[in-house]
């Protein structure tokens, strides 16, 4: 999970056009997670507060081969009722497959029944979050906190893998450790090796520590070391993937089997098609303002269908701010989105700043 719920754009500067350098990759290897065939190995990560159904559908329509739903607390999944708010988190559409559901929690005994609930909802892969660095998660003994307690982490893995049908892959999301201490490193590899021994199909590794959160560069040298250590086992890399070029450079430079795009996919769902084009030696698709408007309208329509007017406004205001990074008048547009108070105002901003084609 990547937690990025603030509507203020505190992340990378506006996205500009990319050149198409010769990366010397040749054909990238197709990705599989257990029995699930993914295909092109640049996928969308779980994004807390973002990767709901509408975002996943947009990503799939624009070239993502696989996506993960936003992380769900195991207790929430177990307590979920048929109320609309809860139901939408467990709703999968036909066009999303393959899609993964991600769980986070503190009590090992709750992971197995929560995982079975996600299987019943239609998720193709069950992902366990041992990577979230957010203070509320770590202080609640969830997410990245488990990297400090390998025995508990591996108990969670065992309980989940034993409960889930063999046909459903179980995967992990990890960071490279709590911190940069040797003890943290030893715990990381103990969990990594123990998880694979217990039947985990793939592990995504983020190149920052839990203490770093999102500050400083992602350590791709560590990702290379992990892949060399894991050998033929499936490793995906994460961290600092904001362009198609970066995605393919990670695959080339670290040898990982897949690149998991997190914050780089928010407001730029074209990154998946761009990575595919770059790998194939084709020109990068550059979304002009008419194309950006088309996708924003598509996203808004999906949100309205899945969650109604009030939630759609909150979601699309948030996404509008992120999409503004692609606009030549980034700051002015970001500020216009930020003050929208309803969908009517949101549509007015769309009309003002984006041509209709």
Residues annotated as part of the active site: 132
Supply φ then ψ for residue 31, to 5 degrees: -100, 135
d(CA 340, CA 313): 8
Short-list 210, 262, 271, 216, CA closest to 238: 262
Angle between helices 330-338 and 343-353 (to 10 degrees): 160
CB pairs under 8 A, 24+ apart, for 248-254?
A: 248/23, 248/25, 248/28, 248/42, 248/275, 248/278, 248/279, 249/23, 250/220, 250/223, 251/25, 251/28, 251/41, 251/42, 252/23, 252/24, 252/25, 253/220, 253/224, 254/220, 254/223, 254/224, 254/227
Q: Are 323 and 296 in contact (CB under 8 A)?
A: yes
Q: Which two tokens stand for residue 194?
A: 């123990």
Element (H, E) at 73: strand 72-73
d(CA 78, CA 116): 10
Q: Which two tokens stand for residue 118?
A: 């996600």
Angle between helices 182-197 and 150-163 (to 10 degrees): 20
What distances in angstroms separate CA 281 from CA 22, 242, 248, 259, 278, one per listed residue?
8, 19, 12, 18, 5
d(CA 274, CA 285): 6
Other beta carbons less than 10 A from residue 349's beta carbon = 20
């Amino acid at each position: 999970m990547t937690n990025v719920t603030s509507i203020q754009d505190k992340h990378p500067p506006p996205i500009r056009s990319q050149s198409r350098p010769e990366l010397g990759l040749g054909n990238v290897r197709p990705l599989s997670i257990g029995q699930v065939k993914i295909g092109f190995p640049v996928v969308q990560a779980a994004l807390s507060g973002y990767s709901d159904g509408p975002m996943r559908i947009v990503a799939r329509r624009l070239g993502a081969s696989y996506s993960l739903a936003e992380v769900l607390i195991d207790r929430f999944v177990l307590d979920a009722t048929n109320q609309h708010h809860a139901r939408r988190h467990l709703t999968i559409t036909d066009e999303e497959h393959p899609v993964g559901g991600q769980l986070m929690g503190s009590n090992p005994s709750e992971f197995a029944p929560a995982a079975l609930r996600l299987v019943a909802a239609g998720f193709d892969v069950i992902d366990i979050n041992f990577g979230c660095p957010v203070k509320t998660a770590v202080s609640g003994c969830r997410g990245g906190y488990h990297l400090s307690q390998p025995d508990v982490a591996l108990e969670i893995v065992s309980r989940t893998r034993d409960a889930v049908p063999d046909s459903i892959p179980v995967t992990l999301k990890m960071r490279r450790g709590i911190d940069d201490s040797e003890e943290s490193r030893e715990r990381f590899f103990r969990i990594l090796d123990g998880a694979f021994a217990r039947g985990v199909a793939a592990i995504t590794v983020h190149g920052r520590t839990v203490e770093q959160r999102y500050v400083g560069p992602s350590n791709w040298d560590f990702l290379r070391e992990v892949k060399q250590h894991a050998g033929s086992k499936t490793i995906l890399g994460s961290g600092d993937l904001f362009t198609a070029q970066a995605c393919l450079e990670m695959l080339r430079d670290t040898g990982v089997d897949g690149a998991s795009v997190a914050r780089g996919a928010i407001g730029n769902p074209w990154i998946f098609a761009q990575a595919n084009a770059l790998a194939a030696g084709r020109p990068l698709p550059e979304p002009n303002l008419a194309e950006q408007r088309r996708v924003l309208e598509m996203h808004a329509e999906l949100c309205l269908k899945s969650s109604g007017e009030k939630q759609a406004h909150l979601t699309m205001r948030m996404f509008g701010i992120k999409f503004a990074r692609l606009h030549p008048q980034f700051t002015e547009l970001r500020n216009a989105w930020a003050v929208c108070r309803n969908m009517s105002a949101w549509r007015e901003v769309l009309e003002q700043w984006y041509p209709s084609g």
